[in-house]
Amino acid sequence: MSGMSDATGLRVGSGLDVHPFDDGDARRPLVLCGVTIPGAPGLAGHSDADVGAHAVADALLGAAALGDLGSRFGVDRAETAGADSLALLAVVVADVTAAGWRVGNLDLTLVAQRPRLAEHRESMRTNLAGVCHLDVAAVSVKFTTTDRLGTIGRGEGIAGWCSCLLIADRG
């Protein structure tokens, strides 16, 4: 490894993903961090449009300097149509591990005016912890709104922001 951040054995990454609601397909479920949110419209996207899992994957890929989710899986490949984003995240975690890193922690913020998500927090944390080989205590999932400002505030979609820490795995 080379560079200042590699000398410490630590790397920080950030990821962002945004998807609009797919109001045209009432059958598409809303999936966030692998949790299906009942009664809510799904998000539009090539895979299952899980903005939480996508933001985490981009944060991990960025910290490991392995590109981004779009370049890794594409947005129009037939094999990823409707894909389970937690399964895609598991591939990313395996790639990050193969590159000599392990996940230290995740800090995810989901931004949504609708629906209310707080009751699903622990399930989301558990799912992300399992895929990333973390203790649940190392996974933060937070929720906020934009106080009705902008696209998210008008209830047109959901965004996810994630920060992560990678630790060099020298063993």
> What CATH number is associated with residue 104?
3.30.1330.50
What average pLDDT does this structure show over 158-166? 98
Whole-angstrom Cα distance, residue 152 to residue 140?
21
Confidence at residue 4, expressed as pLDDT on a 0 to 100 scale:
39
Q: What is the extent of the structural domain holding 74? A: 4-168
Query: Terminus-to-terminus CA distance in the chain, angstroms?
Result: 14
pLDDT-above-70 percentage for the chain: 95
What average pLDDT does this structure show over 80-103? 96
> 6 — phi, psi (to 5°)?
-70, -30
- Whole-prediction pTM: 0.94
Scan for tokens 């994630």, then name that residue.
Answer: 162
Total domain count for the chain?
Answer: 1
What average pLDDT does this structure show over 55-80? 93
What average pLDDT does this structure show over 101-122? 97
Tens of pLDDT, residue by residue over 25-44, are: 678 999 999 999 999 999 99
Confidence at residue 48, expressed as pLDDT on a 0 to 100 scale:
95
Whole-angstrom Cα distance, residue 171 to residue 155?
47
* Among 162, 87, 168, 73, CA closest to 131: 87
Confidence at residue 42, expressed as pLDDT on a 0 to 100 scale:
95
**Residue 6 predicted with pLDDT over 70:** no
**Residue 3 predicted with pLDDT over 50:** no
Confidence at residue 1, expressed as pLDDT on a 0 to 100 scale:
39
Confidence at residue 152, expressed as pLDDT on a 0 to 100 scale:
96
